[in-house]
Structure 1
Amino acid sequence: MSQLVELHSRKAARILDSARELVLDHGAGKVTVSEISRAAGVGKGTVYLYWPSKEDLIRGLFARDLLAAMDEIIAAITADPADVRPSRMAPLIVRTAQKLPLGQRLHSGDPELLRLLTQEPGDRDLYARTNPAAMANAVLPILHRHGLIRDDRPLAGQTYALHAVLIGFLATMSAPAAAPPGVDDPAAVLADTVATLVDPPDPPGERATAAAAEEIVALFRGIRDAVLDLIDRSQVLQP
Structure 2
Amino acid sequence: MLGRPRQDLHRADRILDSAAELLLRLGYRKVTIEDIARHAGIGKGTVYLHWRTKQQLFEALLLREALTYVEGLVDELRRDPSTVLPHRLLAASFLIVHDRPVLRALFGGDAEQLQARPADSPTRGHELLATARFFAVLTRHGLFRDDVPNLAYALTATHAGFLLMDNLGETGPTATAPDVRARAGSLAHVVRTAFEPAGPPDPQAVASAAAEVLEAIADVIPPYRERIYGYRRAQEAAETSGAHSAPATAREPVPGDTGRRRPT
State if a TM-score over 0.5 links the two structures. yes
Percent identity, please: 31
Task: State the 1:53 CA deviation.
Answer: 1.9
The answer to whether 1:188 aligns with 2:185 is yes
The answer as to 2:139 corresponding to 1:144 is yes
Residue 160 in structure 1 maps to residue 153 in structure 2: yes
SS where residue 42 of structure 2 aligns?
coil
Query: 2:110 — aligned with what?
Result: 109
In the TM superposition, residue 91 of structure 1 has moved relative to its aligned partner by 0.4
Q: CA deviation at 1:5?
A: 4.6
Whole-Å separation in 2 of the counterparts to 1:180 and 1:138? 39
More helix by share: 1
Amino acid at match of 1:163: T
Equivalents in 1 of 2:47, 2:177: separation in Å?
49
Distance, in Å, in 1 between the alignment partners of 2:197 and 2:136 is: 14
Aligned to 2:49: 49
Over residues 38-69 of structure 1, what are the superposed CA-to-partner deviations in whole Å (9 max), with x where a residue is unaligned? Answer: 11111111111222222221111111111111
TM-score (norm 2): 0.75
- Unpaired runs of 5+ in structure 1? none
Structure 2: segments with no counterpart, 5+ residues: 238-264
- Aligned-residue offset at 1:160: 2.8
Displacement after TM superposition at 1:81 (Å)? 0.6
Q: 1:16 deviation in Å? A: 1.4
Decide whether the 8 Å contact of 2:81 with 2:206 is kept in 1: yes
Task: Say if 1:124 and 1:205 are closer, same or farther in 2 by CA, change over 3 A.
Answer: closer
Residues of 1 paired with 2:166 and 2:38: CA distance?
Answer: 34
Q: What SS class does the counterpart of residue 117 from structure 2 fall into?
A: helix
Q: Following the alignment from structure 1 to structure 2, what is the Cα–Cα distance between the partners of residues 116 and 234?
A: 21
CA distance in 2, matches of 1:56, 1:81: 36
For residues 100-122 of structure 1, what are the alpha-carbon distances to aligned partners after superposition, in whole Å with 9 as ceiling and x for unaligned?
Answer: 433333344335x5344226452
Q: CA-to-partner distance for each residue in 1:182-221, whole Å, 9 max, x for gaps?
A: 9451111111111110221122222110001111111111
> Which one has more relative contact order, counting CA pairs under 8 Å at least 6 apart?
1
> Is 1:74 equivalent to 2:74 in the alignment?
yes
Match of 1:33 in 2: 33
Aligned twin of 1:203: 200
Segment drifting more, 176-185 vs 36-45:
176-185
Of 226, 229, 232, the match for 1:229: 226
Letter in 1 for 2:118: T
Q: Could you tell me how far apart the structure 2 residues matched to 1:20 and 1:99 are?
A: 14
Q: 5 Å matches for 1:116-127?
A: 116-118=116-118, 120=120, 122-126=122-126
